[in-house]
């Protein structure tokens, strides 16, 4: 079975945010602060929006790939 390039890209788009969120020891700290929020909170908020972006691209690519079939 041949793995297509699109399938690898789709898998990465879903797995990257998952692995970042599982790496809690990397971002479990208070500094630097932005607007009084510790790093832990604003980093999580940033990844909330980034994950939505990853999913949007995933859905778009998947639909585009499905239309080709």
pTM for this model (two decimals)? 0.71
CA distances from residue 19 to 14, 22, 49 in whole angstroms, order as listed? 9, 5, 15
Domain count, the chain: 1
* pLDDT for 33: 92
CA distances from residue 14 to 37, 42, 62, 67 in whole angstroms, order as listed? 27, 21, 12, 20
- Measured over the CA atoms of residue 4, residue 11, residue 49 and residue 61, the dihedral's sign is positive
Between 27 and 2, name the one with better pLDDT: 27
pLDDT one-digit tens code per residue, 11-68? 888 888 888 888 888 888 888 998 999 999 999 999 999 989 988 888 888 888 777 7
* pLDDT for 49: 93
């Amino acid at each position: 079975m041949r793995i297509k390039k699109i399938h690898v890209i789709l898998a990465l788009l879903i797995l990257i945010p998952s692995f970042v969120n599982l790496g809690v020891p990397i971002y479990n700290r208070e500094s630097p602060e932005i607007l009084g929020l510790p790093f832990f909170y604003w980093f999580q908020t940033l990844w909330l929006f980034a994950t939505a972006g990853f999913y949007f691209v995933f859905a778009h690519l998947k639909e585009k790939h499905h239309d080709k079939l």
